[in-house]
Structure 1
């Protein structure tokens, strides 16, 4: 059967005209590299799903996730540990997509049980995966951050290079696994993952917002990491994906116990991605300090577009503000100033993907601000590695990141 040419150009033309839905598919396809998704499952699920009908999108991913949980549970009962592990991991990915889909169209009474299903699937992966796992409770600001410490099965207590991972603004733990944890374990690294303030369980279950001064987070995390058996203090690295491309550089300006750092990509001004979507007259009201006018005009604009309101609420929630102007003022704090960047002395690799849609050009800005300690690595569309965080080129990203890291630790 002759297929239309467009079926061969999905990479360049997109899977959906809706940019958010298209990017979600690209992300999930990238997770296939680490076993956190399967291409056939993704394509079969989107086969009949169009751009609209958010409830249909939710039900499709929720149904797939639940089916995989049942199959993985059966594998576990039969003693098939690896099948159970990766079945639960894939389920965690799809259940996270289902949870995200409900934002703005449902309340917490329906949403939070889906989040619990996602985390339960993740924890079953932790129980059965091909690694040695230890759950962590990291003391932080009067509470505990949940974390996970993974080691290769043959590591014992021998000192190993260790990668501490900082998640982005809204990524799930299963997505974080795919961003670098899988690649690190394959190469003999130990890995630490955690939910920080404003991230995942700390936001959705505990209502804790982001903070811009991430050194206040990374330092207590590092204190715990250095007390774990088998962590080589001289070969300690930190990795940050998406908005953590700001948090990691900010933190290592003050936290100097890391031998290497990765920003994927580099971010120096988080607010830029917000201002790019706010009309000029509104931006001027904000810059002039006319908060009441700004809030009123934003309220009118949001009433005109339910989709825009949904996106704003999703992005704004972790900042913990109750007004539009308050959110923008909070976001404006997430800026790496030259005086802070000048304090960075940790060697840093900065990814720079072609067609970066959120913070274009900021990887190069970060390299200039941080001086001779930084290396920029470009990723291109010709390599299948364009767009924010190279979603469909995670194997190539692993290759370049870990080759660089290995060389830092020689």
Structure 2
């Protein structure tokens, strides 16, 4: 697909939503439950295990969430160990994958206190379980370390079958997900279709934040360029003319930002597209954009600070976003976090600098970035495609969580057409 196209599955004058099966009054707890369910598509959960766990959780209670997911993760990890000891390789691999996702879920809401020892313990168990699973794939999924500014970025290389050079998809997560989770959000799907896949955690993402204290940065090309350098230098099986970049969630602004300046990319995929995170933070203030930005960046704004604190008490998504966001952005207050979003934008001609074919995905019922994908698409001047995913087909949630097979089918069909003409 080299022209500008839109794939629209559903048109409506109102914005439909998927009714929660659990946590009806807490959309953030429901979304994270749906996220765990969705990973069943590529082996990251079992539906029954997720529902049995979620039914024991008290809505809005972060400790309850941790305790129940941790218990399920420990039980599943023990099953994996037993299967491996008994020589049951496939059963062990499958259980380690699920345990990894459950440990990831367990520590998800704890980042309001970065010193909480449960965070590091659960994170290390999630990584450890995934690496045990990685050893049991054929070919195995290889942990890699990519040199980066005096340290390394941690990730995984998935090798496609065959000996001929093949296209490679570089994948990274977003605001709150890990390289390990990308197995369920595109890694496994790519290998099934004959792509090499390289996943990694950049600054602000779990490995870089946990291990090296690196917070997010808006100039994401400074992250992706060293990754492309490493791929071309160290992986002769990767075709350097067919490298695509895939960004998930907040990666929907980070990956296009990188593509605006890193022109060795043959394609970029934004799942879902984001044009300007400043819109997200300033919409909390009912005033002109310039005034809102000045207030967010002000040295002192006690009334605004009080308003944000009050909002966190009534809005579960804002409560989580601000507590986690303060950690990954390395700031101290809600207002500082919202101000940090102002720097994550493709405005002022950045989107227009992208030259490679770009797929912008759009979720009809996006909990976080509604309207952003359309803005990004409209500003692109490169060959572009807008792919809409709807509630009617079960794919309308943020990043099409709960419909990964459907979503990956459309995304990789586009990649097939773009990289394998």
Normalised to the residue count of structure 2, the TM-score between the two structures is 0.88
Quote how far apart the aligned CAs of 1:50 are. Answer: 3.5
What does residue 399 of structure 2 align with?
389
1:157-306 aligned within 5 A: 157-227=163-233, 228-278=235-285, 284=291, 286-288=293-295, 291-295=298-302, 297-299=304-306, 301-302=308-309, 305=312
Q: Structure 1 residue aligned with 2:90, among 72, 82, 89?
A: 82
Q: Shift of the alpha carbon at 1:111? A: 2.3
Residues 266 and 350 in structure 1, CA contact (< 8 A), matched pair in contact too: yes
Kept in 2: contact 1:319–1:331 (CA 8 A): no
Give the number of the structure with larger relative contact order, counting CA–CA contacts within 8 Å between residues 6 or more apart. Answer: 2
Check if 1:133 corresponds to 2:153. Answer: no
| Distance (whole Å) between structure 1 residues aligned to residue 141 and residue 348 of structure 2 | 39
Q: Distance in 2 between matches of 1:315 and 1:31?
A: 24
State whether structure 2 residue 100 is matched by structure 1 residue 92.
Answer: yes
1:282 is displaced (CA, Å) by 12
Cα RMSD over matched residues?
2.4
Tell me how far apart the structure 1 counterparts of residues 335 and 68 of structure 2 sit (CA, whole Å). Answer: 36
- What is the aligned partner in structure 2 of residue 121 from structure 1? 129
* SS class of match (2:381): helix
8 A contact 1:286–1:294 mirrored in 2: no
Structure 1 unaligned blocks of 5 or more: 1-9
Query: Contact between 1:291 and 1:325, CA under 8 Å: does it hold in 2?
Result: no
Distance 1:277 1:29, change over 3 A: farther
Distance in 1 separating the partners of 2:144 and 2:312 = 42
Find the aligned partners of 2:165 and 2:381 in 1 and give their Cα distance.
31
Q: Which deviations, in whole Å up to 9, do the C-alpha atoms of 1:98-146 show, x marking residues without a partner?
A: 1113333784323211211111111111111243332221111121111
Q: 1:361 aligns with which of 356, 368, 371?
A: 371
**Which residue in the other structure is 2:4 paired with?**
none
CA displacement, residues 146-181 of structure 1 (integer Å, 9 cap, x when unaligned): 1211113x33x4211111002111113332111111
Following the alignment from structure 1 to structure 2, what is the Cα–Cα distance between the partners of residues 335 and 197? 17
Measured in 2, the distance between the counterparts of 1:305 and 1:226 equals 45
Moved more, 52-61 or 378-387: 52-61
Q: Is the 8 A contact 1:202 1:208 kept in 2?
A: yes
- C-alpha distance in 2 between matches for 1:106 and 1:330: 19
Is residue 295–residue 323 contact of structure 1 (8 Å, CA) maintained in 2?
no
Q: Could you list the per-position Cα deviations for residues 33-57 of structure 1 after superposition, in whole angstroms to 9, with x for gaps in the alignment? A: 1001110111111223331433222
Q: 1:280 to 1:110 in 2, by over 3 A?
A: same
Distance 1:179 1:304, change over 3 A: closer
2:12 maps to which residue?
A: none
Q: Answer whether contact 1:236 1:260 (CA < 8 A) is retained.
A: yes
Asked whether the 8 Å contact 1:213–1:250 carries over to 2, the reply is yes
| CA deviation after TM superposition for structure 1 residue 205, in Å | 2.5
Residue in structure 2 matching 1:404, options 408, 414, 418: 414
- Give the corresponding residue for 2:64: 56
**CA–CA distance in structure 1, aligned partners of residues 52 and 358 of structure 2:** 40
Q: Report the equivalent of 1:39.
A: 47
Total equivalences in the alignment = 399
C-alpha displacement of 1:375: 0.3
Q: Does 1:26 align with 2:26?
A: no
TM-score, normalised to structure 1, is 0.90
Whole-Å separation in 2 of the counterparts to 1:297 and 1:209 = 25
Q: More helix by proportion, 1 or 2? A: 1
Q: Deviation string for 1:250-272 (max 9, x for gaps)? A: 11111111111110111011122
Q: Which residue of 2 aligns with 1:315?
A: 325
* Matches for 1:106-117 after TM superposition, within 5 Å: 107-117=115-125
1:332 to 342, 345, 348: 342
The question of whether the paired residues in 2 share the 8 Å contact of 1:36 and 1:174 is answered with no
Counterparts in 2 of 1:325 and 1:59: CA distance versus 1, 3 Å: closer
Residue-by-residue CA offset, 1:346-373 (whole Å, 9 max, x unaligned): 1011111112222222212111211241
- Gaps spanning 5+ residues in structure 2: where? 1-16
